[in-house]
Structure 1
Amino acid sequence: MRYACVFAHPDDEMRCLGTLLRLHEQGHEIAFVTLTGGDKGLPFSGPDSHERAVAVREAEIRTVAKAFDASYLCLGREDGFLYDDEPLRHDLIAALRTVDPEVIFTHWTNDYNADHVVTAKAVVDTALWTNLGSFEPHVPANDHVPRIFHVDTGAGYGFEATHFVELTAGHVARKAELIRAHASQMDVMRHLRGHDYADEMADSDRVTGARLMVAHAEGFRPCLAERRIPWPSDLPGRPAHASPAGRKGTA
């Protein structure tokens, strides 16, 4: 199957990286799409850093994409000023047709970052038009509407996971390595919080895993909009070596 991560910024894929690793191991195809280039991602580097930030962050996300033998496509909107307008919808329909996913991972519909909220809404809405040739007729229509999962946005925004993917110790370690490929953003988070995103995601995955009596897991919510509802089987099942239910020994 073909999966696409459609997020606002390079590095937003960190919230489903463990699941992507499991899907990649199973031979599924993966693509990465961002709506912005993350040009405000070097906030302590002065007012002339925007173009440099785009170059730095593109190199970082391409390093992550390479680990999945994946493509990367950026719509080039301005970081922090993303709006759900007509041009964005035209471009996003074309982008989704280009990568042609059967399943999309994207943001939750409520989030701390307005770019994330705009992205979630735009993805849910434009996905419906990817198989209708009257929309963006210059790009061949797909033969299906992609199904959508929302990634866990963290506490405080009404996200309650309903679907879960268990991660092994190997997935957790590799996930941290890939998150730290976004070195520029790790520096920002260490400056702001004293730890980086890899530490933060490991803590979050540990909390989610504890709910399932396993060491680590990622949580998702399905889109419930008609024709975009995913199947539970679109996510990986338990690892083959998983511990019996109720034992918290799985790494």
Structure 2
Amino acid sequence: MRVLAIGAHPDDIELQCGGTLAMYARQGREVFMAVSTNGDKGNFDVEPEELARVREAEFRASCAVIGAKPIWLGYEDEMLINDLPARLRFVDAIRSVNPDLVITHGPNDYHPDHRYTHELVWDAVTLAGVGSVKTAHPATDRQVTVYFMDNLGGIAFQPTEFVDITETIALKQEALARHASQTRIFRDLLDVDLHDVVETVGKFRGYQAGCKYAEGFTKVEAWYRGLSRRLLPVGSGESRFIYKTTQNDFDPI
């Protein structure tokens, strides 16, 4: 199984689904993390060109913690739009992985880069399988399932599936710690501790799921994308009452 998470900024994936990706990697799945923008506007006290270099290095270090392969798209922070060249670039990024499932932002997230990433992924997933649309990589050879990850802070997001990340919450926090430029700026400008956000939202979703820590997702229901089995990972101590499934349902496709 190949899993591709696509986030708008270099720390978005870690914040919203880092524990799930770490669990996939632990279970021997191929995990890829793609980032739309270079995050170069993320600090007030570092020049954009330098910050882009810093944030790419932080992202690659974080991927190493999770056990994921990085994909750096490098669009300018705050300036992402859904135009045809960007759409084809996203098509090619998806084709380069040929994933079984894609995890990305939902349509009502707070930041325009998040929402445009959502649009680009949603539009590109369908085109990725159309052979007459030519890019550097060949068309995908399967219908790709799409999941939306949580919004920042869990705001205005109602999960339909949960992943128990109690086993990987520490790895999630370790991966986030690699984004030192952002944990610092959130603390200095907003008095927000991102590690506390991960702890608090993880516990809250855990209460909903019936475990200590969880991440929430919504599976996209669309034509020809239905599944008879679960694709999100199952932890070793997971109760069948949380997901109404068994470990045998989580086989590679």
Deviation at 1:136, TM superposition (A): 2.0
Change (3 A) 1:123 1:227: farther
The within-5 A match list for 1:82-161 is 82-154=80-152, 158-161=156-159
Contact 1:106–1:151, Cα closer than 8 Å, also in 2: yes
Structure 1's consecutive aligned runs of 4 or more residues displaced over 4 angstroms after TM superposition are 154-157, 228-232, 242-246
Change (3 A) 1:212 1:32: closer
Deviation at 1:82, TM superposition (A): 0.8
Deviation at 1:210, TM superposition (A): 0.9
**Selected match of 1:163 from 161, 164, 168:** 161
Aligned residue in 2 for 1:184: 181
Cα distance in 1 for partners of 2:228, 2:203 equals: 25
Change (3 A) 1:230 1:147: farther
Aligned residue in 2 for 1:7: 7
Compute the TM-score of the two structures, normalised by the length of structure 1.
0.89
Contact 2:163–2:233, Cα closer than 8 Å, also in 1: yes
Deviation at 1:53, TM superposition (A): 0.9
SS at match of 1:201: helix
Aligned residue in 2 for 1:240: 236
Cα distance in 2 for partners of 1:206, 1:93 equals: 35
Deviation at 1:192, TM superposition (A): 2.6
Aligned residue in 2 for 1:41: 42
Q: Which runs of 5+ in 2 are unaligned?
A: 243-253
Aligned residues: 241
Given residue 32 of structure 1, which amino acid in structure 2 is its aligned partner?
A: M
Deviation at 1:113, TM superposition (A): 0.3
Cα distance in 1 for partners of 2:203, 2:154 equals: 18
SS at match of 1:221: strand
Deviation at 1:74, TM superposition (A): 1.9
Are 1:19 and 2:36 an aligned pair? no
Cα distance in 1 for partners of 2:69, 2:188 equals: 31
Contact 2:100–2:145, Cα closer than 8 Å, also in 1: yes
Deviation at 1:43, TM superposition (A): 2.3
Given residue 78 of structure 2, which amino acid in structure 1 is its aligned partner?
A: G
- Output the aligned Cα RMSD: 2.0
SS at match of 1:234: coil
Cα distance in 1 for partners of 2:57, 2:210 equals: 37
Cα distance in 1 for partners of 2:139, 2:241 equals: 44
Given residue 50 of structure 1, which amino acid in structure 2 is its aligned partner?
A: P
Change (3 A) 1:138 1:165: closer
Compute the TM-score of the two structures, normalised by the length of structure 2.
0.88
Cα distance in 2 for partners of 1:16, 1:198 equals: 14
Cα distance in 2 for partners of 1:9, 1:191 equals: 19
Cα distance in 2 for partners of 1:33, 1:93 equals: 12
Change (3 A) 1:224 1:202: same
SS at match of 1:31: strand
**Selected match of 2:201 from 199, 204, 228:** 204
User: CA offsets per residue over residues 174-223 of structure 1, 9 Å max, x none?
Assistant: 21111111010000111133342121011001011112332111100011
Cα distance in 1 for partners of 2:158, 2:227 equals: 17
Aligned residue in 1 for 2:249: none
